[in-house]
Amino acid sequence: MNTHATTITALFKSEEDTLAAIREIREHGWQVTEVRSPVPAERIAEALGRGKSRVGWFTFAGGVIGFFSGFSLAAFTATRWDLIVSGKPVLSWIPFFIIAFEFTILFAVFGNVLGLLTQLGLPEKDYETNYHEECSGDMYGIEAVADQSEAERLKEVVGRTGTVKRADRMDE
């Protein structure tokens, strides 16, 4: 780990500028640790090399659990007393399918929410580190790290298209 790294945050007007800045920072061999944006930006995520989201697996797992638990619940409860209603079989899979379906959706959504919370790291208490309120407005915020020695260069580079907001020294 770099013991004398400086984290610089800067704000950019548009996605294009941001992307350009990222490229440039990368070219200099510095790291872009985070980009904050007011809207989702696929290209930025791509540029940062973020892989595909794994939220879907949570959702899928939830769905599978839901499907089987829906059926199981219906079947289990029906067999407690084996009551015959309307001459239908005690285990009537056809109507039970509706229960299973709803449970599938419900649990898939639970899975999805769980996936979102874990993947997003929410709720996050100290979100304010390196955060600028403009990022929820119309600005894109870059968080770049450079060796202390190169901090000024970095500032200059990002300062060309963006506004440098902060330059912190990070120890350890």
Whole-angstrom Cα distance, residue 16 to residue 32? 16
Contact 11, 132 (CB under 8 A): yes
Q: Give the one residue of 37, 67, 157, 167 binding other proteins; rule: CB under 8 A.
A: 37
162 in contact with other proteins (CB under 8 A) = no
Phi-psi region of 82 (alpha: psi -120 to 50; beta: other; left: phi over 0): left
Tell me the number of residues near other proteins by CB under 8 A: 69
Phi-psi region of 130 (alpha: psi -120 to 50; beta: other; left: phi over 0): left
Which span sits near other proteins by CB under 8 A: 3-11, 112-120, 145-153, 157-165?
Answer: 112-120
Q: Give the one residue of 20, 61, 116, 164 binding other proteins; rule: CB under 8 A.
A: 116
Q: Give the one residue of 95, 152, 159, 166 binding other proteins; rule: CB under 8 A.
A: 95
Q: Give the one residue of 5, 8, 19, 35 binding other proteins; rule: CB under 8 A.
A: 35
172 in contact with other proteins (CB under 8 A) = no
Smallest distance from the beta carbon of 149 to other proteins, in angstroms?
Answer: 27
Smallest distance from the beta carbon of 86 to other proteins, in angstroms?
Answer: 4
- φ/ψ of 128, rounded to 5, equals -75, -15
20 in contact with other proteins (CB under 8 A) = no
21 in contact with other proteins (CB under 8 A) = no
Torsion over CA of 54, 59, 63 and 65, rounded to 10 degrees?
70
Q: Which residue has the tokens 């915020």?
A: 141
133 in contact with other proteins (CB under 8 A) = yes
Q: Give the one residue of 20, 41, 65, 164 binding other proteins; rule: CB under 8 A.
A: 41
Contact 142, 9 (CB under 8 A): yes
